[in-house]
Amino acid sequence: MRCLLRRSFTLLVVSVFILTGCGLETKRLSEFYKGDISDVNKIEIVDGSTGSSLTVTEPEAVHKFIEETKHIEFIPLEDQSPRDGFRYSINFFEGDTETCSFGSSQIGDVYYSTEPDIHPIVKEFYEKNNTN
């Protein structure tokens, strides 16, 4: 009886672990932001393919980017093995204080896919606001 109970408990623990996916969950960009995302007044984007950076402080452009991206869902990838390189790195600021930093497919040490795809949105914003 004890053996059966122990096996059932082990099976339950393993099942819960598998179902929770190690604690990774789908979140919207706005859920990762600590504070009010509408307070962001500066965006810095680095293009990973060229190393070029863009800083945008124009309120309308900042607001538009936040509105276009805050509802994007970041879905944890099953494969969390380390990667090299990035497409875009995005930093949000309130004043001169960096309040959030993430990659177009990574937040912290976790890799994500996005729905809808964030890459075309960031690319269009970068190209439209890059006057160099």
Q: Model confidence over 36-87: pLDDT tens digits?
A: 999 999 999 999 999 999 999 999 999 999 999 999 999 999 999 999 999 9
Q: What is the pLDDT of residues 84-132, one digit of tens each?
A: 999 999 999 999 999 999 999 999 999 999 999 999 999 999 999 998 6
Q: Which amino acid is at 54?
A: L
pLDDT value, residue 1: 61
**Which amino acid belongs to residue 30?**
S
pLDDT average, residue stretch 3-30: 62
72 closest CA partner among 20, 117, 17, 110? 117
Instruction: Supply the pTM of this predicted model.
Output: 0.80
Q: Can you list the domains of the chain with their CATH numbers?
A: 24-129 (3.30.1490)
**What single-letter DSSP state applies at residue 38?**
G
